[in-house]
Structures are given as C-alpha cells and as structure tokens.
Amino acid sequence: MKLNLKIWRQKDAKSKGEIVDYPIKGIEGDMSFLEMLDVLNEELINKGEEPVQFDHDCREGICGACSLQINGEPHGPDRLVTTCQLHMRKFNDGDTIVIEPFRATAFPVINDLIVDRTSFDRIQQAGGYISVNTSGNTVDANAIPINKHDADEAMDAATCIGCGACVAACKNASAMLFTSAKVSQFALLPQGQVEAVDRVQNMVRQMDLEGFGNCTNTGACEVECPKGISLENIARMNREYLSATTKG
Amino acid sequence: MGILDSKVPKGPLAAKWTQHKNDINLVNPANKRNIDIIVVGTGLAGGSAAATLAELGYNVKTFCYQDSPRRAHSIAAQGGINAAKNYQGDGDSAYRLFYDTIKGGDYRSREANVYRLAEESANIIDQCVAQGVPFAREYGGMLDNRSFGGVLVSRTFYAKGQTGQQLLLGAYSAMNRQINRGKIQSFNRHEMMDMVLVDGKARGIIARDLVTGKIERHSAHAVVLATGGYGNVFFLSTNAMGSNVMAAWRAHRRGAFFANPCFTQIHPTCIPVSGDHQSKLTLMSESLRNDGRIWVPKRMDDAIAIREGKLKPIQLKEEDRDYYLERRYPAFGNLVPRDVASRAAKERCDAGFGVNKTGEAVYLDFASAIQRYGEEEALTHGIKNADDKEITRLGKKVIEAKYGNLFQMYEKIVDENPYETPMMIYPAVHYTMGGLWVDYNLQTTIEGCYCAGEANFSDHGANRLGASALMQGLADGYFVLPYTIGDYLSKDIRTGAIPTDLPEFDAAETAVQDRLDKLMAGSGQHSVDFYHKKLGKIMWDKCGMARNAKDLQDAIDEISALRADFWANVKIPGKADGMNQELEKAGRVADFLELGELFAKDALTRNESCGGHFREEYQTPEGEALRDDENFKFVSAWEYKGEPKDAVLHKEELKYENIELKTRSYK
C-alpha cells in the first residue's frame, strides 16, 4: 500500500519543530507501525537524509517505550495496543497518517518523536514503593493470605506500562490514571496499608509539581490506555487522598 | 588451579553458601558511605543489585540505555519464576530444583552455584510478596503455581503472563526508594562505552549520554555488569531492539573472559516470521505448554493442503494429527525442555510437515484444554447436561483468565483468533546461557568487575529451564552479589574516592572517541541494519539450532569478512555530538560482529552436542544430543587477544560430586 506520512521533525529540545511530508510505498498489512517507520528510515538513510528518531525497545507491547500520537490518537486507531503492536492492516491504501510526539508540558520533546517522560519516574520515586529492605528476612510469602479478587484487581492496576498515553489523550494532560494505578495496586494489598497515607499525598504532590493537569472525568485516558487501566483507579486514589487528608 | 579459580568454598554442598557468608569480610556501615559502586543495566539483576547495595549504604550509580530503569527487557518475561517452596506438596525441595537445573542444563553448569540458586529461590518469593508484587492466588488467598518444562513438579509462581513485568517493577520500586533517599543516582539514556582499569582493577566506566552525545567519565570502587544477553547477534530474536553485548564485550576486551558463547537458547514457542520486514520476534510463553498440545499433520498431503490454504487445521481428524512431542517423549510430553522441543519442531518442519506458507511452523492447540476446563467448570457450577457450546464457552473463559494477554497479543500480530484455530509457532532465539565468566562470587577475571543475571554464564549450563532466568537475576542481585562484593570492598575502605583525571581515564576516553570517529568516517555504502541482517542470517543458518564443522568454519570466515566491510563502508547519517540512534546501533553491531565470530569458534571447538548446542556430527541414532563427558566436561572461557580468531581458550573443569552424570532422558 501507498501512504502519505506527515511526521513531526524537531532537531532538539530547543529547536522549533515542523511537520514534514514523506510519501511511502510498498507497505504490507503484516508490518507493524514501527516496521513501517523502519522502511521509511532505511529509505532516508540511503538517500543521505537523517532518519526519524522515535523511542521503541521491546516491540511486544510491554516495555512502554514506544509512544506516538497517530492521527491525533495515542498509539493510533486500534484499541488495547501500543504503537509497536499496531499493524498496518488497520490502515488503507492512500491514507494520510499524521505522526506526532505525545504532547504535554510535563513531557518535553527531546528529538523528533521522542519525549522526556522522566516526570513519571519522579512520581514513582515520591512514594510508589513499599519500604521493605531486600535483605531476604521477610515473612513467608503465604503468611500474608490475600483475597483472590483483591490480588487480581491489584494485578490489573499494576499492569500499567508507564507509556504516557493517558496524559497524551487527556485534554488537561493529567497523569491521574498513571498515578492512581500505582496507588491502587498498593491500596488493594495488605502490604501497602502501612504507608498508605504518606504514599498518596507524596505521589499526588509530585504529580502536581511536574505540571500535569487535573482530572475532569472525560475518560479519554481509559479509552486510549493500551493496557485497559480502569478509571475506577482514579476514583480509588481520590478516596485514598481524601482519607489521607483527614488522617494526615 | 591456575588462571581460572572458581573459588567454590569447601564443605558439603548444602553448607557451602552459609559457611561462605560466615567466612567473608564485611564492611562497616560508616565505611560503606565512602564506597562507590557502578551498576550497568537495570533489569532484574541490575535493578535488584542496585537497590540492595544502596540499602546497605553504598553510593550507587546506575546506567541504562532506556529512558527509565523500568523498561529493561526483563519486563518482557512472561510465564513465571521458579522457587522451591513446595507449596503444592508435590515433593519439591531445594535439592530437586538444583537437580532439575543441572540436568536441564545438560551437565554443563557449576554445582555449587546452582545449589545456591535453588537455596535462595524461596527467599525471592517472600521478598517480592513483601514488596507488593501481585502474584496469582487461589481462592483461599494462597499463592498459585503452574508447571514449566523439564520438571515434574509445580514450582512456578506467576503474575498472569506478565511475571517479568511485575518482578521488574518490584525491583524498580526498590530502586526508586533509594533514588528518593539519594543513595542511587540513576543515569538513564546512557550507554557504557568502555571500562576503565586502574592497577588491573575495574575502577570506572566511560559512558555516552545518548541525548547530548557527551562522553562522560564515572569512577567507582567496583563495577557490576548486569546487561543481559546477546541474542540480538542473530538480528531476529525475542530480545528488545536495543538489547546488546556492548558492556560485556568492552569488559571482555579489557580482560574479562567470555564463557560458552555458543550456548544459546532457541525457544520453541514463538510467533513465526511473516516476511523480510520483520524487525523482531515475539515469544508465546512456555506456560502455554501446560495446556496447549503441539502437533503437525501426520500425512504429507495434508501438510501440503494446509500450506496451500486448501485445508484448515480444525478439519483434520484426531487420528490424522501427529502430536510428536507426546509420541517421542511420553514422560514429559509437551513439557520437555526448550532445546528438545525446538529441535523436534525443526525436525518435523525439515521433513516437510510445517504448516504455514514458509513451511516453518507447527501448531499449538488449545481445543482439548478448552474442552477439559469446560467440563470441569460445568461440574463445579452445577450445570447439568451442558451442551458442547456451553462447555466450549466455559472452557474459553478459563483459558482467557490464564493466558488472555498472550492470546490477545497473538491475535493482534497474526490476525487469527487462537480460541478458534490453533496457534502457529516456531522456534526463535530467546536467551543466551553463555556470558562473562564469573567465579562463585560473581567476579569476572577482572578484579572488581562483577557480572550478574543473563550477562554471566554461571547457572544454566547448555540449556536454561523455563522460569529460571527471573530466579537467577533476582538471586544474583538481591541475595548473592551484595554479600560477595562486600568481601572485595572490605579492602577498599581506606582507598578514598577514585579520581577521574587519572591517565587511565584519559586513555579510555580517547579510545572511545576514536572509535566513534572511525564509525562516523565509514564510506557510506550501507546502513547499519544492512550489516546486522547479514550477520543474523549467517548466525541463524550456520550457528543456529543445528551446527556442523563445515558451516561453522564458513561462518567464521564470512563474519570476519563482513566485519571488515562494515568498518570500511557503514553509513551513519547525522553527527556524534547529539542524539543519533543510528550511531548507537552501529556501536552495538560492531561488537556483535566480533562476538559472532567467537561464538562460531566456540561452537566449532566443542565437538559434542549438549543442551542448546547441537552438532550434527554428534547425535544418537534417535537424533538426540550426544554428550562427550570425557573430553568436554568443561566451561570454555575465552581470553581476548585482538581478533576473535586469536582468542585463547581456558578450560574450567566441571566437577560433579553430588550428581551422577547421566544421559539426559525425557522419555
């Protein structure tokens, strides 16, 4: 198939970026979206031009490195997939595809389609952990029985890959879905109770400091999340936060 | 013992590790604050080591090429982690886990290391649960287990099909706690370009900031490499695109011996290659073999009809199917170890029974599992006289709960629904058992340079069992290295900070800069990928699932020629003083072009078949691997001497004092 690509090019964080047109042909339906970009880059290199730079690593939808706003949607038109698992069979011959980096104040562009998502790391560093030393002197794993339903729900929240699609999808560039997924994982488990009050307060404080917006319950994040992280997590985090404020 | 001293402690097997921990030197907390450690790689081994070392009080600097430690490729491990907990009461013990691992590795690993691994395995699960890792549970609230290949017990703990992700996020959260305390400085989007030795000891690294292109010097009292495996030497593998051998190879060039490079794991259940555009391969977890049955058509005409699209697999009657693993290995069936399953798939496809367009695929079928689970569900829910449709519906629900994310991934990639039609799978490069040689303390042949996780060679012999990589990474990082490195560092309490303006740092930085300049100066004929794909094809065709002396010699010659061509004609656009992904790839491929040749040389030297290393000249009449314990019961440790062809072989004889060497049988 033939496609008309419109790709955001930006030399570095300080330079001004622009959309550049790249017509491309010979694309097959079995290619992933990133393999399509590989084809383009090989062409550009052979022509002596600089290839389009983008983040990617595992190419199986789990590392969270790949991003891309494709025709205005994070990770493109398919649901419950990352860009690396989006296949070209979802597009038609002759389509125009606009490819941009994720846009948010807290995700500044580094180069072309690559953004800086270390703000997510800093939110986790503020409290996304249980303070247990890794010395190997903990209690036996089965000494902490956990209701299967809670364990499953904690697992669902924990499957967040930290890609940032929720932020890119949100008109307020809010990181509530990301932050609440971690808060929820621990809120649902007995191990997380000891530090619950500090955790939610510290993580929310850091989230605000990074310049993410607030949640206005549009639900766009849940729709675009490649891992199907539920909006319920945001409600749970709000509950945790309120309860922490009254206790704290 | 000469140059290769494994430093295995004396005493009975089960007491060695405890005794060793009692004997080694400790560093007091005040002194730890004056000691710096560099950890390169932030996967399960590196992340867990960094977190624990920082907890102990050392000053840790971590380095990873990804934008966050959370993205290291350990995250992609799917099926589970082994631990000798015996929660199922099915006769498991540390000894059995030890025995299975040695046997699974085809008797080419070190007894004492493997026993320690089995001993520490139970701790890992306790630790991870305490950290909030959401392992799968039964209705009573206790932890659930599943089975993996090569064993007769259920000892695998799991978190759906995302066990690696959950364990890595656990290690990452432990790291985050230390970053928040200022005990870990995390350098992301950084790549180690060289190791710096001062007076023969590892004292720092030269790193490149991948955003600015700046070359940086970092010093420390010890350097830990936890940089994963080198499967990407094959170009196509289940590794991440960025996974590379650079850090380990740079250390090798500085004096660290490289052990058993030819021991590679080709995983039997991956999604087959679909075309020339393919950039990587995707694994379908081994856990699927708990419930999936592997088969090809019994008759050639059926296989041909299927390949031509005239026949569908579900139309084939039970008696026309060849469940070849169940037929050849009745005791273990579909759960034979990976090397055995992969070779059996290749054997059937080479004989013409492959089931996709390229003829390189076999079926992994869930129909009978869906039926079995459906019947069970109907019974437990009190549904009497359930019809077939109802049973299938109930069965599919169980399969979805167990493997939902894997089935979804398969459907997205292949565009077929695996609930309705069998999956197609084929072996692919997945893991490398070889790596930097380390002694019992995980120290390489460079003093002060340690190596953990997949990057070292120590525990899996010639074939790794499923769900053991996560176990090894975390055991090394949480429970082994933090002790053993202290013994070494106890001698450094008066050293003080290592300055970075030493002549050794000057020289290493100049060498790194020269290498980058040389790469950028290529004549501009072909892209980096052009060379990487060529290398991958040589490796797969001649050093893959079956090898022979002639092919291996050809591979050595071809790789050597390809390397010369690469350095003269590679084309890298842009500049070195900024973000340049092509330059990053070029540096990694340059090292693969050296490693690949050593790999072939190692395979050519090892005149036997064992585990994943199958030499066509050495097989039983039934086509099983034929080991030669008399002549090859050793670890090959290669010393760098310039070109790979000049590498010098050192042998570490393997002693089996607790296990009797036997021909591996899964029949």
What is the CATH number for A25? 3.10.20.30
Do residue B517 and residue B647 come from a single domain?
Answer: yes
Please give the residue range of the domain that contains residue A90: 3-111
Note the pLDDT of residue B402. Answer: 85
Q: In Å, how far are B219, B497, B527, B555 from B61, measured between CA atoms?
A: 10, 14, 34, 39
The CA distance from A90 to the nearest CA of chain B, in Å, is 10
The distance from CA A184 to its chain's CA centroid, rounded to whole angstroms, is 17
Q: CA triplet B106, B110, B111: central angle to 5 degrees?
A: 95
Note the pLDDT of residue B665. Answer: 86
Residue finishing a domain among A111, A144, A164 = A111
- Asked if B125 and A116 come within 8 Å (Cβ–Cβ), the reply is no
- Provide the 3-class DSSP secondary structure of residue B206: strand
- Asked if B582 and A51 come within 8 Å (Cβ–Cβ), the reply is yes
Tell me whether residue B469 is in a domain.
no
Do residue A199 and residue A240 come from a single domain?
Answer: yes
B660 in A contact zone (CB under 8 Å) = no
- Give the model confidence (pLDDT) of B204-225 as tens digits: 999 999 999 999 999 999 999 9
Beta strand pairing call for A109-111 and A114-115? antiparallel
pLDDT < 70 positions in chain A: 248
Tell me whether residue B394 is in a domain.
yes
How many structural domains compose chain B?
2
- Percentage of chain B lying above the pLDDT 90 cut: 94
Within a 10 A sphere around the Cβ of B40, how many other Cβ atoms?
Answer: 31
Do residue A17 and residue A55 come from a single domain?
Answer: yes
Beta bridge partners of B365: B293
The mean pLDDT of B73-101, rounded to a whole number, is 96
How much is the mean pLDDT over chain B? 96
CA distance B596 to B644: 9
How many structural domains compose chain A?
2
Q: Which of B11, B188, B185 is nearest to B115 (CA)?
A: B11
Tell me whether residue B204 is in a domain.
no
Beta bridge partners of B81: B157
Do residue B407 and residue B521 come from a single domain?
Answer: no
Residue finishing a domain among A58, A79, A111 = A111
Do residue B417 and residue B530 come from a single domain?
Answer: no
CB B395 within 8 A of CB B377: yes
Q: Residues in chain A, how many? A: 248
Q: Sort out which chain B residues have CB atoms less than 8 A from A32's CB and list them.
A: 279, 413
Beta strand ranges found along B119-243 (DSSP E): 156-157, 184-187, 190-198, 201-209, 215-219, 222-225
DSSP H or E stretch at residue A222: helix A220-224
Beta bridge partners of B86: none
Model confidence at B3: pLDDT above 80: no
Do residue B280 and residue B424 come from a single domain?
Answer: yes
**Structure tokens, B538:** 């040589």
CA distance B179 to B198: 28
pLDDT band of residue B120 (cuts 50, 70, 90) is very high
**Structure tokens, B204:** 């720092």
A191 in B contact zone (CB under 8 Å) = yes
CA distance B62 to B243: 17
Tell me whether residue B445 is in a domain.
no
CB B80 within 8 A of CB B157: yes
Residue finishing a domain among B402, B429, B456 = B429
Q: What's the CATH code of the domain at B305? A: 3.90.700.10
Mutation target among B21, B87, B137, B478 for the A interface, most CBs of A within 10 A: B137
The mean pLDDT of B30-42, rounded to a whole number, is 97
CA distance A86 to A70: 11
**Structure tokens, B270:** 């991956």
Show which of residues 549-578 on chain B sit within 8 Å of chain A, judged by CB atoms: 571, 573-574, 578
pLDDT band of residue B150 (cuts 50, 70, 90) is confident
The distance from CA B551 to its chain's CA centroid, rounded to whole angstroms, is 25
**Structure tokens, B235:** 């170009």
Tell me whether residue B200 is in a domain.
no
CA distance B449 to B45: 15
Do residue A83 and residue A163 come from a single domain?
Answer: no
- Provide the 3-class DSSP secondary structure of residue B29: helix
The distance from CA B330 to its chain's CA centroid, rounded to whole angstroms, is 28
**Structure tokens, B76:** 């992609």
- Asked if B179 and A58 come within 8 Å (Cβ–Cβ), the reply is no
CA distance B87 to B97: 14
CB B266 within 8 A of CB B612: yes
ipTM over 0.90: yes
Those residues whose C-beta lies under 8 Å from the C-beta of residue A178, and which sit 6 or more positions away, are A120, A123, A160, A162, A164, A166, A167
- Asked if A118 and B125 come within 8 Å (Cβ–Cβ), the reply is no
The mean pLDDT of B252-281, rounded to a whole number, is 96
Q: If DSSP states are collapsed to H, E and C, what string results for B75-124?
A: HHCCCCEECCCCCCCCCCCHHHHHHHHHHHCCCCCCHHHHHHHHHHHHHH
Alpha helices in B381-459 (DSSP H): 388-414
DSSP state of B259: E
- Asked if B68 and A118 come within 8 Å (Cβ–Cβ), the reply is yes
- Give the model confidence (pLDDT) of B511-526 as tens digits: 999 999 999 998 889 9
Note the pLDDT of residue A248. Answer: 61
CA distance B498 to A28: 55
B59 in A contact zone (CB under 8 Å) = no
Do residue A52 and residue A92 come from a single domain?
Answer: yes
Do residue A99 and residue A23 come from a single domain?
Answer: yes
Do residue A139 and residue A220 come from a single domain?
Answer: yes
Those residues whose C-beta lies under 8 Å from the C-beta of residue B23, and which sit 6 or more positions away, are B9
Do residue A75 and residue A143 come from a single domain?
Answer: no
Model confidence at B501: pLDDT above 50: yes
A184 in B contact zone (CB under 8 Å) = no
- Asked if A51 and B573 come within 8 Å (Cβ–Cβ), the reply is yes
Tell me whether residue B452 is in a domain.
no
Please give the residue range of the domain that contains residue B643: 507-653
- Give the model confidence (pLDDT) of B430-459 as tens digits: 999 999 999 999 999 999 999 999 999 999
The mean pLDDT of B14-40, rounded to a whole number, is 97
Do residue B424 and residue B513 come from a single domain?
Answer: no
Do residue A92 and residue A205 come from a single domain?
Answer: no
**Structure tokens, A212:** 């993410």
pLDDT band of residue B149 (cuts 50, 70, 90) is confident
**Structure tokens, B180:** 């928040």
Model confidence at B2: pLDDT above 70: no
The mean pLDDT of B387-397, rounded to a whole number, is 95
Q: Which of B96, B119, B108 is nearest to B20 (CA)?
A: B119
How much is the mean pLDDT over chain A? 97
Show which of residues 419-458 on chain B sit within 8 Å of chain A, judged by CB atoms: none
Q: CA triplet A127, A176, A87: central angle to 5 degrees?
A: 110
Tell me whether residue B567 is in a domain.
yes
CB A162 within 8 A of CB A150: no
Within a 10 A sphere around the Cβ of A54, how many other Cβ atoms?
Answer: 21
**Structure tokens, B376:** 């069970």
Closest partner residue to B282 among A51, A60, A192, by Cβ? Answer: A60
B402 in A contact zone (CB under 8 Å) = no
- Asked if B165 and A145 come within 8 Å (Cβ–Cβ), the reply is no
Tell me whether residue B284 is in a domain.
yes
- Give the model confidence (pLDDT) of B589-608 as tens digits: 999 999 999 999 999 999 99
Note the pLDDT of residue B1. Answer: 39
- Asked if B573 and A48 come within 8 Å (Cβ–Cβ), the reply is yes
Residue finishing a domain among A83, A111, A139 = A111
Show which of residues 132-191 on chain B sit within 8 Å of chain A, judged by CB atoms: 132, 134-143, 159-160, 162, 165-166, 169, 172-174, 176-177, 179-180, 186, 188
Beta strand ranges found along B472-615 (DSSP E): none
Model confidence at B429: pLDDT above 70: yes
DSSP state of B283: B
Do residue A222 and residue A159 come from a single domain?
Answer: yes
Do residue A19 and residue A105 come from a single domain?
Answer: yes
Mutation target among A30, A63, A130, A134 for the B interface, most CBs of B within 10 A: A134
- Percentage of chain B lying above the pLDDT 70 cut: 100
Q: CA triplet B477, B483, B486: central angle to 5 degrees?
A: 115
Q: What's the CATH code of the domain at A140? A: 1.10.1060.10
Residue finishing a domain among B410, B429, B448 = B429
Do residue A127 and residue A235 come from a single domain?
Answer: yes
Active site residues of B: 338
Do residue B425 and residue B512 come from a single domain?
Answer: no
- Asked if A146 and B137 come within 8 Å (Cβ–Cβ), the reply is yes
Q: Which of A192, A189, A188, A226 is nearest to A70 (CA)?
A: A226
Residue type, A234: I
DSSP H or E stretch at residue B253: helix B246-253
Q: Is the pTM of this model over 0.90?
A: yes
- Give the model confidence (pLDDT) of B172-189 as tens digits: 999 999 999 999 999 999
Do residue A105 and residue A41 come from a single domain?
Answer: yes
For B529, name the nearest residue in chain A, comparing CA atoms only. Answer: A42
Residue finishing a domain among B378, B403, B429 = B429
- Give the model confidence (pLDDT) of B289-307 as tens digits: 989 999 999 999 999 999 9
